[in-house]
Structure 1
Amino acid sequence: MSAGTILHAAEPLRTIASPTLWAVTVAALLLLLLIDLLITRRPREESMRASVAWSVFYLLLPVLFGLYLWAGHGGGAAVEFYTGFVVEKSLSVDNLFVFMLLLAAFAVPSALARQVLLYGIVGALVLRVIFIWLGAAALQSGTWAFLLFGAILIVTAGKIIKDVLRGDEQEVDISSMRSVRFVRRFVPVTEDYRGSRLVVREHGRLALTPLALAAVAILATDIVFAVDSVPAVYGVTEDPFLVFATNAFALLGLRALYFVLQGVLTKLRHLNHGLSVILAFIGVKLILHWGHGVWTWVPEIPTLASLGVIVAVLITVTATSLLANRRDRLRPSPPARVERVEPVEPVEEPAGER
């Protein structure tokens, strides 16, 4: 087969999912989101015990789903799902870190944090569905999409590592965010929070609350993450159903996981190093996959090997982060600087004033 045929082939993407499996999966997803919505309806502090329980539940779901795929569709589909899930979950943790910075920048009350996080998760799911559909359409039009996806991931990896080496501060400047400036230009925003309300009537006209502004900012960051996330999982599997399932399972439970990892996220100082390696690795995998279709002598990276590399990278950066934190704790603090105080010469009083 010639390169021209490969570049312009338009074959339907293969999928393991029947219409029934699609319907059941989407219905289960909507049910879980509805439960999350009911839980976050009333503003209140998130308890650590409940967060841990929900996090364990949402981690067990993909494990069970993968076993179902193994039993019903073979080990290949299950390995692709587990690999894609690990990739998406690691990217989602980085997503959570950005959410944490945004919540702090907007000074969102802790009782309202759950609501803002849910908006971010729902927005991320909607955007992922759109990008998954666009990615499937691109792949169906020709394998040139593998080159595009690979280039996107390699460029993203280079940007991440460049920011890390440059030592950019992890902070959010609200005034410089285009989405925030755009909203403020056309809609007034109240100075303070009004409970869980997004829109209020003030001075006879509608106005947004800072809670709505925070939700807009999080949705804007979701777009950036979707651009990186969907090509990454397409580097693991070409099945649109598995791509959707990995994204859905990775995003479900992020609200609860946020409160579990809130104190840990800042300590994973080498997470971005690992994510840059993973994205670059998958980018190379995509380019090799395209090259193998054009020239059969070009090697391909098996999915199981990809899973091993990704897990090894995540374990490594976690271990190096913990060692770096421990080294900082054991490092003696510099001695306090003692300034020398010059003696004060006694002042002679005039004889007449004694």
Structure 2
Amino acid sequence: MSSEVIFFAGFTVFVILVMMLDLGAFSRQKSHIVSFKEAASWSAVWVALALGFYVFLRYYGHWVHDISDPSHLASVKSTYYPNLVLPTDFAAALNVFQSNMALEYITGYLVEYSLSVDNIFVFILIFNSFGVREVYYKKVLVWGILGSIVLRFVFIFVGSALIQQFSWVLYIFGAFLVYTGINILISKDKEEGIDVQKHPAVRLTSRYFNVFERYVVDNFFIRRKQDKKLYVTPLFVVMIVIAFTDVIFAVDSIPAIFSITKDPYIVFFSNVFAIMGLRSMFFFLVNIIDMFSYLKYGLGVLLTFIGLKMLFEHQLHEWGFNNMYSLLVIVGILAISIVASLIFPPKEKVVVEVKK
């Protein structure tokens, strides 16, 4: 069995175990309102795991592609890292390759994690529209996000295959990101709502499942005594909507990370850590998100920059604009938007209401 297979099997088991621990599957603790302290602790755990994975890639990144000889390294470089210049010595080349892989991963993770902030308002909107009590937020988010990871996995590798076959797809992605970023910058804040009955995920779920008419504690399924049929509860429908919504957000974020790396494995790893950390970040930021009023515009600038980088990749490469510069620009954009939010707070704060 190759180290590549062993690595991915171990990574999958690791993610499942941590997710179950986060959900509380190994304890008798029932559904509860996540406190700010608990959310901060789990946010720190997921960030620490993401940084730890960066260190792993830096020194053991060859496991990802099962690189054991110069010819295999040359093949991977040709496929996913065509612009990377490697030394002739295999050990030195492998060191440069792993350093570049780790840098692309941490840059992609930062992009995905920052873009995930935009999901928070939408998730609150979903919960309020469906009348979900705050005590059940955690369970819905964990399972909904897990489902979105599976869908993103398909999205990522299909996108990678398209890029490998049709390089011009990158220009479509780039133009789309520029359009999205500019649209964020020029659009005014509008009060949004969700038509529960007409939502595509709700209609699709109702077509293929028996939907129970009301919530039953924190259960996703219930067997009704009258007809012995298995029904899904409204909480299950909300979970499907969460997963569906996250995939919609992925239409922006996944093309964005392909501007940083063409390696689908690195795209997937950065997505997994960013999305798994989204649940704890949701509870951490939900009550203080109004403090970062300019962050939305920072994300608009970020998407525009990434789109332009994708459109002018060859020119930027000729000018020596490497991944380290990209990382510095991304950090700078986010830092400026956060600092501006704290120095110049809005006159009227946005109030985010949740159902207890």
Please report the TM-score for the alignment, with normalisation by the length of structure 2.
0.77
Q: 2:309 aligns with which of 282, 285, 288?
A: 285
Q: Say whether residues 1:26 and 2:17 are aligned partners.
A: no
Q: 2:179 aligns with which of 151, 155, 158?
A: 155
Contact in 2 for aligned 1:66/1:82 (Cα 8 Å): yes
Distance 1:63 1:161 in 2: 31
Contact in 1 for aligned 2:261/2:267 (Cα 8 Å): yes
Contact in 2 for aligned 1:288/1:298 (Cα 8 Å): no
Q: Say whether residues 1:223 and 2:247 are aligned partners.
A: yes
C-alpha RMSD of matched pairs (Å)? 2.6
Aligned residue type for 1:70: R
Contact in 2 for aligned 1:149/1:231 (Cα 8 Å): yes
Distance 2:331 2:264 in 1: 23
- Evaluate the alpha carbon distance shift between residue 145 and residue 188 of structure 1 in structure 2; reply closer, same or farther with a 3 A threshold: same
Contact in 2 for aligned 1:161/1:273 (Cα 8 Å): yes
1:36, distance to aligned residue in structure 2 (A):
3.1
SS at match of 1:325: coil
Contact in 2 for aligned 1:132/1:240 (Cα 8 Å): yes
Within a 5 Å distance, the mapping from 1:40-189 to structure 2 comes to 42-72=30-60, 73=95, 74-162=98-186, 164-165=187-188, 167-184=189-206, 189=211
Structure ID, larger Rg: 1
Aligned residue type for 2:202: V
- Evaluate the alpha carbon distance shift between residue 107 and residue 297 of structure 1 in structure 2; reply closer, same or farther with a 3 A threshold: closer
SS at match of 1:119: helix
1:262, distance to aligned residue in structure 2 (A):
1.4
Q: String of CA shifts for 1:54-104, please: whole Å, max 9, x gaps.
A: 111111111122123233454322221111111000111212332122112
Within a 5 Å distance, the mapping from 1:5-16 to structure 2 comes to none
Q: Say whether residues 1:248 and 2:272 are aligned partners.
A: yes
Distance 2:119 2:155 in 1: 17
Distance 1:51 1:76 in 2: 32
- Evaluate the alpha carbon distance shift between residue 19 and residue 145 of structure 1 in structure 2; reply closer, same or farther with a 3 A threshold: farther
Partner of 1:313: 333
Contact in 2 for aligned 1:285/1:301 (Cα 8 Å): no
1:314, distance to aligned residue in structure 2 (A):
1.0
Q: String of CA shifts for 1:4-39, please: whole Å, max 9, x gaps.
A: xxxxxxxxxxxxx94443333233222222323416
Please report the TM-score for the alignment, with normalisation by the length of structure 1.
0.78
- Unpaired runs of 5+ in structure 1? 1-16, 330-354
Distance 1:65 1:297 in 2: 27
- Evaluate the alpha carbon distance shift between residue 207 and residue 68 of structure 1 in structure 2; reply closer, same or farther with a 3 A threshold: closer
Q: Percent identity?
A: 33
- Evaluate the alpha carbon distance shift between residue 322 and residue 105 of structure 1 in structure 2; reply closer, same or farther with a 3 A threshold: farther
SS at match of 2:312: helix
Partner of 2:215: 193
Aligned residue type for 2:123: F
Partner of 1:302: 322
- Evaluate the alpha carbon distance shift between residue 185 and residue 52 of structure 1 in structure 2; reply closer, same or farther with a 3 A threshold: same
Which stretch shows the higher mean deviation, 122-131 or 167-176? 167-176
Q: Say whether residues 1:235 and 2:276 are aligned partners.
A: no
Q: Say whether residues 1:212 and 2:236 are aligned partners.
A: yes
1:168, distance to aligned residue in structure 2 (A):
1.8
Distance 1:156 1:301 in 2: 23
SS at match of 2:345: helix
Aligned residue type for 1:154: V
- Unpaired runs of 5+ in structure 2? 61-94, 350-356
Figure out how many residues of one structure are paired with residues of the other and give that number: 307
1:257, distance to aligned residue in structure 2 (A):
2.0
Distance 1:183 1:135 in 2: 26
- Evaluate the alpha carbon distance shift between residue 19 and residue 183 of structure 1 in structure 2; reply closer, same or farther with a 3 A threshold: closer
1:322, distance to aligned residue in structure 2 (A):
2.5
